[in-house]
Structure 1
Amino acid sequence: MVTKTARPRSSDEVVTSGRGPVHFPLGPFTPYEHNPILAPRGDSWESGSVYNPAAVVVGDRVALLYRAHADDIVSHVGLAWSDGGYVFEREPQPVLSPSEDYDRFGVEDPRVTEVDGTYYLTYSGWDRDRSLLCLATSSDLHTWTKHGPLFPDFDTFQPQGRGETGAWSKAGGILRERVGDHYLMLFGEGSIWAATSRDLLHWTPTTSDIDPPLMAPRPGTFTDFLVEVGPPPLLTDDGLVLLVHNAAVKDPDGSVRYTAGQLLVHPERPQEVLAELTRPWIEPLTHEERHGLVDNVTFVEGLVWFRDRWLAYYGQSDSTLGVATFVPGDRWSQVLPG
């Protein structure tokens, strides 16, 4: 059973927006005609690339927690605000930076979920040897407490492997609603797994990396090389869990092409896929999405309901940041890309 939690609100408390309609599949999404909405600037910490943003609605604004770095490719997380969801004003300094051994060469690819006034941000800590999924918390999006790696012994690239041994984990999306007496996280790069928690700080995988994952790459499809959790999952109007995921294929020359799909799971049986898209709902089409630090990438990490629409925020070829829009009730003005 999924429990929707309510919380009291004081006069000075930050209030998040209401929940939007969630059906499977979500969309169609139309990329914003004025993308990219954020790009590298200056000669400082965000001069090289700006991409892969988490998103959350705070009061009547959209906040983006985005990954950025200079030419050294040591990533920080920046914060930007928008009154309308499309034009953003950036804060001058990052709000989360490398500080520990496990993330000393990068805090990468954030996802964020707000529960009872606390923001739970998952990110990839990079030490140039391995990537580990980490957690940080905040009450204001500015000051963060790091809680360290969540799964220090887990390799999410199983069962297919990644050509190396040892721990590796990325991409944690936390469902905001409680499932019975626990919370649910879907996580993983390579394959996708599930974990549960009573307190949102300590997480236990529902299976080990020697068991079958929730979702693994499928040969001959747009998920051929790897799958990876996108934004935090959403509770649909019929009580199921919708996950937007990223997926990649590898070309003969070793390059990759990233698109995004969706799947549907039961909240109490998260290892069971009930439905999934057989083709991507967003893919590299524009110049920015085809050319960048890593070519041919649309990588979705932020998804919010804001006013009358869904806004999906994504990295464009690991270099710039774009947004795509879905307004429920509009005519299907485009078909899913083939």
Structure 2
Amino acid sequence: MTGRPGIPARTPATFPLGPFTPYEGNPVLRPQGTGWESGHVYNAAATVVDGRVALLYRAHSPDLVSRVGLAWSDDGFTFEREPEPVLEPTEPYETHGCEDPRIAVIDGTYYLTYTGWDLSSAQLCLATSTDLHTWTKHGPLFPGFDTFLPAGDGTARTWSKAGGILEQQVDGRWLMFFGEGSIWHAWSDDLIHWTPASNDEPLLTPWPGGFASFLVEVGPQPVVTADGLVLLLHNAAVRLPDGAVRYTCGQVVVDPARPTEVLARMERPWLEPETYEDTHGLVSNVTFVEGLVLFRDTWFAYYGQSDSTLGVATCPVGRGWDEPDGIRRRREAAS
């Protein structure tokens, strides 16, 4: 197995990755108690630590101020939660919440991107840790950037949600994809300070007539395919006639040497709202993926269900779209 120049092939991923099967026992996390996670629990980053799955999940009480909790699992499905949040608002740019974490693990350090929300601006922020409990905050990464351009309504804003860091270097630098509305890339020499692409150089923008006609947004951390390309799972939304939105999940593949160009994209979602939890909640009709791990020869994709509960879908390594179930799903997607 060989990679493309500058990036090794270490991950047994293919494009498209899947098909994924939602777990029959979903949701794997629900709100609980009367405190900080009593309202809604959803949108989780995922990593594997010492043979266990660790979830860093978004939660809030009815006041909607988000915090990040930590839960552990031996099988990827059944989780034990720690009693207190591990990340919560302390800074002016996050007065109303630390939202929607994504995680990368590099040389023993956890790099957590999350959204700082102050009721006016949503800003992509970075925190680092060596133990998942004590975090050092490094502040907003892209002040003044607007990821809703060029597909936005022309309103000037600071908006830079969602960031996924590639865990392998590309020609000696680190690569991140970020954005809600459209998706961009950024480079870093030290994983702390990031230089974004120009606001007029998006990688992926909404496209008419499909499941991403309203917006696209970064999903989990990207992974490398067997042939050295970068696979990015992303979220997508359409605006419904009544003004509501419907979120589904797609995939694109990118040459890391040319991160402003999509080589291929799925034209139909690989995950979409189907169950009661997917279609009823704080924001209904949402499947929103933020966590992806390879655990015990199975891919686990963790996703928020209508901004209220957390589900998981799985795909065993070696099972591809050419398997019998995959053929059925591909025919359905093409119909």
TM-score norm. by structure 2 comes to: 0.94
Aligned to 1:118: 109
TM-aligned CA deviation for residue 332 of structure 1: 3.8
Q: 1:290-301 residue pairs with structure 2 within 5 A? A: 290-301=279-290
- From 150, 158, 165, the equivalent of 1:167 is 158
- Per the TM alignment, residue 253 of structure 1 is displaced from its structure 2 partner at its CA by 1.1
Secondary structure of the structure 1 residue equivalent to 2:259: strand
Let me know the Cα RMSD of the aligned residues.
Answer: 1.3
| Equivalent position to 1:268, from 257, 260, 264 | 257
CA distance in 1, matches of 2:35, 2:217: 30
What is the distance in 2 between the residues matched to 1:76 and 1:52? 11
SS in 1 for 2:139: strand
Asked if structure 1 preserves the Cα contact closer than 8 Å seen for 2:11 and 2:223, the reply is: no
Q: Among 6, 11, 20, which residue is 1:2 paired with? A: 6
Of 133, 138, 141, the residue aligned with 1:147 is 138
Identity percentage of aligned residues: 65
Q: Which residue of 2 aligns with 1:40?
A: 31
Does the CA-based 8 Å contact 2:11-2:224 persist in structure 1? no
Per-residue deviation at 1:119?
A: 0.2
* Among candidates 255, 268, 283, match of residue 244 of structure 2: 255
Correspondence for 2:122 among 113, 131, 146:
131
SS state at 1:196 partner: strand
SS at match of 1:161: coil
Tell me the SS of whatever aligns to 1:122. Answer: strand
Give the match's secondary structure for 1:289: helix
1:4 deviates by 4.8
Counterpart Cα distance in 2 of 1:162 and 1:65: 33
Structure 1 distance, partners of 2:66, 2:294, is: 27
Q: Given that residues 7 and 228 in structure 2 are in contact (C-alpha distance below 8 angstroms), is that contact kept between their aligned partners in structure 1?
A: no
2:84 counterpart of 1:87 = no
Shift of 1:163: 5.7
Give the superposition deviation at 1:27.
0.2
Partner secondary structure for residue 263 of structure 2 = strand
1:335 alignment partner in structure 2:
329
Q: How far off its partner does 1:165 sit?
A: 1.3
Counterpart among 89, 92, 96 of residue 101 in structure 1? 92
Of residues 176, 190, 206, the one that matches 1:217 is: 206
Amino acid at match of 1:208: S
Unaligned runs of 5+ in 2: none
* 1:164 positional shift: 2.9
Question: What is the distance in 1 between the residues matched to 2:45 and 2:102?
Answer: 5
Deviation, 1:102, is 0.3
Instruction: Report the count of equivalent residues.
Output: 323
Q: Supply the AA of the counterpart residue of 2:116.
A: G
Query: What SS does the corresponding residue of 2:278 show, helix, strand or coil?
Result: helix
1:287 pairs with 2:270: no
2:277 alignment partner, SS class: helix
State yes or no: 1:237 paired with 2:241: no
Identify the residue that residue 326 of structure 1 maps to in structure 2.
315
The residue aligned with 2:301 is: 312
